[in-house]
Amino acid sequence: MGDRCYLEMTIRIEDLPKWRKHFGNAFCAEEEKYAIEHHEPFIQMEESEANYSWWDQRESLAKEDCVFYGRHTEGGEYGGGKFVGVDGKHHYVEYSGFLGDVIVSVQWENGKISTNKADLRKIEAFFKALDKAKAIIHPAKRQLKQGELFTP
C-alpha cells in the first residue's frame, strides 16, 4: 500500500498528456473539466492519499519539462514539503508548521548563529524556480515592469 499523504498540485493544462502517461485519467477529471469551462491554462488538484507524495512521478514529470508546483503534508516516513518542476528540474524543500514555513538549519557556534550555506542555496534555488513556474502557469498574474506592454 505504501506511505500516503495529502498533496496539492498545480500543473499546466498543456502538460496533461505527459501527466496521463504516469497516472492515466486518475486524479484530475473534474479539475480538467473546470479548467476547460473557465478557459484556465492550468489545473489545480488535490489528492488525500498520494503514495510517497508522488515523488517518483514528480521527478519524471519534471524531467519531461512539465511545469508544476505544490505541497504535501507529512507521511509516515517523511515530513511535509513544497515542490516545483521547471526547466527540466525537480526542486524540493521541507517545511513544518501550519503555515508551511520552510526549514532552515541554523547552529550556534562561538557566540554566533551560523547557517548551512548549501541549505540556503537550495532554498534560494527553490524559490527562484517557484517564481518562474508561477509566471509560466499564471502569465496574467505576472507583474509588468515599468514601461513594459502586456502581450498575451
Query: Residue 114 phi/psi, 5° resolution?
Result: -125, 155
Q: What is the pLDDT of residues 14-46, one digit of tens each?
A: 898 898 888 776 666 777 777 778 778 888 888
Q: Report residue 60 CA to chain centroid gap.
A: 14
Does the pTM surpass 0.85? The reply is: no
Q: In the structure, what pLDDT confidence band is assigned to residue 56 with cuts at 50, 70 and 90? A: very high
